[in-house]
Amino acid sequence: MSDIKNLLIIVNTGADKPYNQYAAYVVAFVAKQVNKVENITIFYGPQGIGMTKKGELAKFVIEDSVKDLLAGQITGLSASDLPDNLEQLARFLNGSLGITIASCGTFHVIDGFAKTVDDKSNIEDFIVPLEVPQAVEALLAADKVHYL
C-alpha cells in the first residue's frame, strides 16, 4: 500500500510519443490496483490534448505479446483480461476503477476542436474538460505528480 492518496499523471505528449500514452494508463492501473492509491487523475496537458479527440486513443493497439508481458508481471491478471486498445483501457479505468481522465478545455478551444471550454463534442465522452482554476487545483492537491 502506498502513502500517496492523490496521484496526478500529466501526459504532455501526443501520438509522436506512444510509450508515454501506454505508460500513463499502465501506471494508473497499477497504482490503483496494486498500490491502492485512492485518487488518480490522468491529465492531458497543452502538448497532449490532441489525444483527447474522439478515436485517438483507440489507435493505440495493445498487442497480444504486450498483454502477455504485462499480465506476467501483475499477480491475478491474465492477458485475456486486458483490452485491445487504450480507449478501452481508459474506459475501464474511468468507469470501473474511478480514475479521472481530464484535460484543459482551454487548450481544446485554442487548438480549434472546441468552441467553449466545456464543449465535449469532439473529445471522448469519458474525458473531463477542466477550466484553468480546476486544473491548477488538481495539481496543487496532488501528493505526487508523474510527468510524461
Mind listing the pLDDT tens digit for each residue in 29-67? 999 999 999 999 999 999 999 999 999 999 999 999 999
CA pair distance 111, 99, nearest whole angstrom:
25
What domains can you pick out in the chain, each with its CATH number? 6-147 (3.40.1260.10)
Range with the lowest mean pLDDT among 74-83, 95-104, 116-125? Answer: 74-83
Quick one: cell of 61?
Answer: 493497439
One DSSP character per residue, the chain reads --S-SEEEEEE---TTSHHHHHHHHHHHHHHHHTS--SEEEEEE-TTTGGGGBTTTGGGSB--HHHHHHHHTTSTT--GGGS-SBHHHHHHHHHHHH--EEEEEHHHHHHHTS-SSTT--TTB-TTEEEEPHHHHHHHHHH-SEEEE-
Q: Does residue 20 surpass a pLDDT of 90?
A: yes
Q: What band does 125 get if pLDDT is binned at 50, 70 and 90?
A: very high
Cβ partners under 8 Å of residue 22, min gap 6: 60, 62, 86
- Interval 72-96 mean pLDDT: 93
pLDDT of the residue at 102: 97
| pTM listed for this prediction | 0.93
With contact defined as beta carbons under 8 Å apart, do 132 and 46 qualify? no
